[in-house]
């Protein structure tokens, strides 16, 4: 194993991942994900695209001052983007400006409306400007897999000459085939004269389900920097999943070669679970590495084989990715210390006051049941992540419904010290309650998605409702938890409203 086999990991969950439709994370949530990523051992966190929104600018700034690993900020080859990103990165320990421009004929003609000579000149100027502001500059070719390879060589050479220390090619639309992409990487490394002065990277999308295969093919052909997201979340079909590519490298060293990286594989499961929870994008049960079924064996033949030797049907152990055994271990006699220990094993490291709140909620629940499961603990704790300022707080609700009749709900919310009540009719109690909330807060709030999950089993199961509510052209996620599903539903809706209000998307639509 030589140092030249070290693969640098840039995680873009907070930038490309956050571009997943329906995800909008607040600052607190982004910071929590950034801390998880740092503990996981990624080299760089791409924290946002500061020129596109104030929220991204603030997130890059806050993350820059909270982590020690590299922090990258994305920018177009546009002076104002570069200045804004550089400003946001000021407090970073290892700041990186990540510039990109499209290099494919279709993008240059229809999107940029520039000739290839103009794009080349833009790369030279922009990378030089970035380099004057930040020592570490990465340059990416957008839609590289549909670009002319010879032109890519010219672009990469120009970017390296102007100071880029990492050059990256993106399979932006997930079009490449593994063999072809590997061959492109090889060609570019062999035909870009100054390539030895830079690290070669790739950024793959999953439109054909090949992002991981393409990334592995790129590594085998000389790429030493890869861009990935947790659970593969991202635009359209998503990005290359960090956990899959890392476990591919680790499980198939025999086939791929011995590459090193900084990722602590035992933290993969908990990081995936936290990102799924915070983004409200559940991990599919059959998802490789981190899905619930990834290590379960249903058929008798498989179970028998597993009992004789786990390697018959498992190519890696659940422990190697940190998948905990799902046992019920906490109950009403458990103390704060045991509770804290349990949370740590699940990837939660809470501040003292957060721990106090979660422990109080745990005790309340423990008084009502014999055992508390991991899922319930997760729900109790992650409830805090869903917290946004209580601009409106649910104080009371009541509903009536009967078959063949419209339902009626009346809701009381606390707002700026005043109790506000409204009643409304609806197709069912949830619909009626949502109309009553909308009347109180004013304006149009459209329910775009509603999901309910029983967090526990039994009669007093906790039900967690996740909603996506449309306000203007923005979607807001809200969560609510209660053993009464109508209450969970109302709480989730009010949570989404508060999230919109906290962002300034209240009565006056942006």
Please identify, using beta-carbon distances, which residue of 140 and 382 lies nearer to ligand KIV. Answer: 140
Please identify, using beta-carbon distances, which residue of 161 and 207 lies nearer to Zn ion. Answer: 207
Q: Which does 142 bind (CB under 5 to 8 A by kind): ligand KIV, Zn ion, none?
A: ligand KIV
Please identify, using beta-carbon distances, which residue of 13 and 382 lies nearer to Zn ion. Answer: 13
Please identify, using beta-carbon distances, which residue of 13 and 456 lies nearer to ligand KIV. Answer: 13
395 SS3 class: strand
Using CA atoms, how far residue 339 sits from 367, 373, 374, 509, in Å, is: 15, 12, 11, 43
Q: Which does 211 bind (CB under 5 to 8 A by kind): Zn ion, ligand KIV, none?
A: none
Cα separation of 99 and 82, whole Å?
A: 8
Using CA atoms, how far residue 390 sits from 395, 417, 442, 494, in Å, is: 11, 11, 17, 9
What are the E-state strand segments in 21-91? 44-48, 70-76
Closest contact distance (angstroms) between CB of 40 and Zn ion is: 20
Stretch that binds Zn ion, among 8-16, 302-310, 372-380, 395-403 (CB under 5 A): 8-16
Cα separation of 399 and 408, whole Å?
A: 6
Site string for Zn ion, 432-461 (x = CB under 5 A): ------------------------------
Please identify, using beta-carbon distances, which residue of 140 and 221 lies nearer to ligand KIV. Answer: 140
244 SS3 class: helix
Q: Which residues contact 37 (CB under 8 A, 6 or more apart)?
A: 11, 13, 14, 45, 67, 69, 230, 271
Please identify, using beta-carbon distances, which residue of 16 and 154 lies nearer to ligand KIV. Answer: 16
Q: Which does 140 bind (CB under 5 to 8 A by kind): Zn ion, ligand KIV, none?
A: ligand KIV
Q: Which does 279 bind (CB under 5 to 8 A by kind): ligand KIV, Zn ion, none?
A: none
Closest contact distance (angstroms) between CB of 142 and ligand KIV is: 4
Tokens found for residue 237 = 């079909």
Stretch that binds Zn ion, among 9-17, 109-117, 285-293, 393-401 (CB under 5 A): 9-17
Q: Which does 37 bind (CB under 5 to 8 A by kind): Zn ion, ligand KIV, none?
A: none
Closest contact distance (angstroms) between CB of 204 and ligand KIV is: 8
* Inter-residue contact 294 to 244 (CB < 8 Å): no
Long-range contact list for 349-358, CB < 8 A, 24+ apart?
Answer: 350/381, 354/384, 357/384, 358/384
Q: Which does 355 bind (CB under 5 to 8 A by kind): Zn ion, ligand KIV, none?
A: none
Considering only CA atoms, which of 265, 184, 260, 271 is closest in space to residue 232? 271
Please identify, using beta-carbon distances, which residue of 204 and 490 lies nearer to Zn ion. Answer: 204
Please identify, using beta-carbon distances, which residue of 18 and 374 lies nearer to ligand KIV. Answer: 18
Q: Which does 100 bind (CB under 5 to 8 A by kind): Zn ion, ligand KIV, none?
A: ligand KIV
Give me the residues that bind ligand KIV (CB under 6 A), please.
16, 74, 100, 140, 142, 170, 172, 203, 205
Phi, psi of 286, rounded to the nearest 5 degrees: -95, 15
Does 11 engage in binding with Zn ion (CB under 5 A)? no
Closest contact distance (angstroms) between CB of 260 and ligand KIV is: 24
Using CA atoms, how far residue 140 sits from 167, 180, 203, in Å, is: 6, 19, 9
Closest contact distance (angstroms) between CB of 150 and ligand KIV is: 20
Instruction: Out of 16, 32, 56, 431, point to the residue binding Zn ion (CB under 5 A).
Output: 16
**DSSP label at residue 451:** E
Closest contact distance (angstroms) between CB of 205 and Zn ion is: 6
CA angle, corner 11, sides to 37 and 296, nearest 5?
Answer: 70
Using CA atoms, how far residue 169 sits from 79, 102, 140, 224, 327, in Å, is: 22, 10, 6, 12, 44
Closest contact distance (angstroms) between CB of 253 and Zn ion is: 28
Please identify, using beta-carbon distances, which residue of 142 and 244 lies nearer to ligand KIV. Answer: 142
How remote is the C-alpha of 169 from its chain's centroid?
Answer: 22
| Residues at the site binding Zn ion, with contacts judged by CB under 5 A | 16
């Amino acid at each position: 194993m030589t140092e030249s086999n070290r693969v640098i990991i840039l995680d873009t969950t907070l930038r490309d991942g956050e571009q997943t439709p329906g995800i909008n994370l607040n600052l607190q949530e982004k910071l929590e994900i950034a801390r998880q990523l740092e503990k996981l051992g990624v080299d760089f966190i791409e924290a946002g695209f500061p020129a596109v929104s104030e929220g991204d600018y603030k997130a890059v700034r806050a993350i820059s001052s909270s982590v020690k690993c590299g922090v990258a900020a994305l920018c177009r080859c546009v002076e104002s983007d570069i200045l804004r990103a550089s400003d946001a990165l000021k407090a970073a320990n290892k700041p990186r400006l990540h510039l990109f421009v499209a290099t494919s004929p279709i993008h240059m003609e229809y999107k940029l409306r520039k000739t290839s000579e103009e794009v080349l000149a833009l790369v030279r100027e922009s990378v030089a400007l970035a380099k004057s502001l930040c020592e570490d500059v990465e340059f990416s070719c957008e839609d590289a897999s549909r670009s002319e390879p010879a032109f890519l060589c010219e672009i990469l050479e120009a970017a390296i000459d102007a100071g880029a220390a990492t050059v990256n090619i993106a399979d932006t639309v997930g079009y490449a085939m593994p063999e072809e992409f590997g061959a492109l990487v090889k060609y570019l490394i062999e035909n870009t004269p100054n390539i030895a002065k830079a690290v070669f990277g790739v950024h793959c999308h999953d439109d054909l389900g090949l992002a991981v295969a393409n990334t592995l093919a790129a590594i085998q052909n000389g790429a030493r920097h890869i861009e990935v997201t947790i659970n593969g979340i991202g635009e359209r079909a998503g990005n290359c999943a960090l956990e899959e590519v890392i476990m591919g490298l680790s499980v198939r060293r025999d086939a791929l070669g011995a590459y090193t990286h900084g990722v602590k594989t035992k933290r993969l499961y908990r990081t995936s679970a936290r990102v799924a929870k915070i983004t409200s994008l559940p991990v599919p049960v059959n998802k490789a590495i981190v899905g619930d079924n990834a290590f379960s064996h249903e058929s008798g033949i498989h179970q028998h084989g597993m009992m004789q030797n786990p390697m018959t049907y498992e190519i890696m152990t659940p422990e190697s990715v940190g998948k905990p055994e799902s046992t019920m271990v906490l109950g009403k006699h458990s103390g704060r210390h045991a509770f804290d220990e349990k949370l740590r094993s699940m990837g939660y490291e809470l501040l003292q006051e957060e721990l106090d709140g979660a422990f109080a909620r745990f005790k309340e629940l423990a008084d009502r049941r014999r055992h508390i499961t991991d899922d319930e603990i997760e729900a109790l704790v992650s409830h805090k992540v869903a917290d946004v300022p209580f601009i409106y707080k649910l104080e009371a609700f009541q509903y009536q419904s009967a078959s063949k009749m419209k339902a009626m709900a009346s809701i009381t919310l606390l707002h700026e010290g005043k109790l506000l009540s409204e009643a409304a009719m609806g197709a069912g109690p949830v619909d009626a309650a949502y109309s009553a909330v909308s009347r109180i807060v004013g304006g149009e709030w459209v329910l775009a998605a509603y999901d309910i999950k029983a967090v526990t089993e039994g009669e007093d199961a906790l039900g967690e409702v996740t909603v996506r509510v449309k306000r203007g052209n923005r979607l807001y996620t809200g969560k609510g938890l209660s053993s009464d599903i109508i209450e969970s539903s109302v709480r989730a809706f009010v949570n989404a409203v508060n999230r919109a209000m906290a962002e300034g998307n209240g009565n006056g639509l942006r």
